[in-house]
Amino acid sequence: MPLDWGKCPRWLFERMTRLGRGISIAIVQEFGPEILLKRLSDPVWFQSLGCVMGFDWNSSGLTVTTMGALKEAIRGIERDLGVYICGGKRVSHKTPEETQNWGQRLGWENKKTDRLVYASKMAAKVDSALVQDGFSIYAHNLIFTNSGQWAVIQQGMNINIQKARRYHWLSNRVSDFTQEPHSGIASDVRLKPLNLTAKESLDNKNVAATLVKDEPELFLKNLQCLAKLNTKNMPAVSSRGILGSQGRLPGFTDMELNNVEFHWHHVVKEKFDLKRLRKTIERARFSSPQNFTQLLASEGVGPKTIRALSLVAELVYGAKPSYQDPARYTFAVGGKDGTPFPVDRKTYDKTLVAIERGIKLSKMNQREIDDAKQRLETITYPF
């Protein structure tokens, strides 16, 4: 999604709020609050919702504006719907506070609220520290229900390529926050990030956790050695493509080969502040993490610490991480050509009925209802 500047006009935001209110009510009444979570966690359905509500179809602003409109739409009727929305663009850092406030108002046990706060924080940390794709998270929403189920929708920006990327989470798909936890990632560019959420990165994460727990001094020593190696031998290949220097001595030939396999590496040329990293590792070790998830949740462990651990785990211990982009194409109801599966007409029709009922319940005037239906038909039947 291209990064867009500017604001949503007040007249449009008010109408998006009214239409969003009707759609939310209709879906919850027809299918229940958990289905609304499931729909929002689908990147294609969410994009379609933003289009139906009238926002630019390919704008980065669709995410924050649609979520802002939905949050405003259900304000005052959260208890009736059993759906609660916290966070946003400028108030993403207040998500834990808003969640705790709702827990107190609803009389929930602290454990239930704490689980939601933990999910919010971990989702944000995973998409900044484990999926290092160059997109900085700047908008974060947590949506949850009375049953304790939740969804997270957050967006990051990459100013170098002027793009945004949206990350979707759904609680019943998350068995491990650090292994392929997303319900979908919306992106029109494919990169080669450090992707520690991939199954192929499991060994790399296990080694990293062991280094912090059992061998922090060895980790720091190895990283320091790699840093010296980088300074001494990089760049590995000269302008003429020579791999090393050769000299003849009596009885044998001496050849020094540069470490050419390092020149492509994503993080090997980075300079690490070893003093600061030592403090972070010592603090993390003090918390006694039993696995990588607990290590990630430790205070102060961020993207740079994770990169350093991953680097040593790969270059010293041979545990390679994945560099495959986790962004994938996703389909809500299938494709007309049968890829990835034939169109699920039953689900498709139920979705249309729910949206049309939402339009009717939104208390808009007839002209606005007709315009909304026309947009829906244009999106649904483009041929």
Q: Which residues contact 45 (CB under 8 A, 6 or more apart)?
A: 39, 332, 351
Angle ∠(301,302,305) on CA atoms, nearest 5: 75
Question: Which of 219-234 are b and which e, b meaning 16 or more Cβ less than 10 Å from the residue's Cβ?
Answer: bbebbeebbeebeebe
Q: What average pLDDT does this structure show over 110-139?
A: 94
Contact 333, 247 (CB under 8 A): no
CA atoms of 5 and 68, how far apart (whole Å): 16
Which pLDDT does position 256 carry in this prediction? 59
Q: Is residue 188's pLDDT more than 70?
A: yes
What 361-368 contacts at long range (C-beta under 8 Å, 24+ apart), as own/partner pairs, is 361/22, 361/25, 361/26, 362/18, 362/19, 362/21, 362/22, 362/23, 363/18, 363/22, 364/15, 364/18, 364/19, 364/22, 368/15
Q: What is the maximum span of the chain, computed from C-alpha positions, in angstroms?
A: 96
Higher local confidence (pLDDT), 180 or 366: 180
Q: Is residue 358's pLDDT more than 70?
A: yes
Q: What average pLDDT does this structure show over 298-319?
A: 90
Higher local confidence (pLDDT), 35 or 261: 35
Which pLDDT does position 381 carry in this prediction? 45
Q: What average pLDDT does this structure show over 374-381?
A: 61
CA atoms of 6 and 323, how far apart (whole Å): 34
Q: In what order do the strands lie in the sheet with 136-145?
A: 83-88, 136-145, 150-158, 163-170, 182-186
CA atoms of 207 and 191, how far apart (whole Å): 25
Mean model confidence pLDDT for the chain: 82
**In the chain, what are the domain boundaries?**
10-191+327-380, 200-315
Which pLDDT does position 181 carry in this prediction? 95
Using CA atoms, how far residue 129 sits from 181, 193, 195, 382, in Å, is 14, 11, 9, 40
- By three-state DSSP, how is residue 18 classified? helix
Q: Is residue 129's pLDDT more than 90?
A: yes
What residues form DSSP beta bridges with 142? Answer: 86, 152
Percentages helix, strand, coil for the chain (3-state, rounded to 5) are 50, 15, 35
pLDDT tens, 62-108?
A: 888 899 999 999 999 999 999 999 999 888 889 999 999 999 999 99
| Most confident of the ranges 13-17, 149-153, 209-213, 337-341 | 149-153
Q: Is residue 310's pLDDT more than 60?
A: yes
Q: What average pLDDT does this structure show over 24-38?
A: 92
Q: Which residues contact 119 (CB under 8 A, 6 or more apart)?
A: 142, 150, 152, 169, 171, 174, 177
0.85 cut: is pTM over it? no
CA atoms of 199 and 107, how far apart (whole Å): 39
Task: Calculate what percentage of the chain has a pLDDT beyond 70.
Answer: 79
pLDDT tens, 223-267?
A: 888 777 655 444 433 333 334 445 555 666 555 555 555 444 555
Higher local confidence (pLDDT), 21 or 243: 21
Q: Per-residue confidence at 324, pLDDT binned at 50, 70, 90?
A: confident
Which pLDDT does position 90 carry in this prediction? 84
Q: Is residue 209's pLDDT more than 50?
A: yes
Q: Are strands 150-158 and 131-132 parallel, antiparallel or unpaired?
A: unpaired
User: Of 265-279, 315-329, 330-344, where does mean pLDDT reach its minimum?
Assistant: 330-344
Q: Per-residue confidence at 167, pLDDT binned at 50, 70, 90?
A: very high
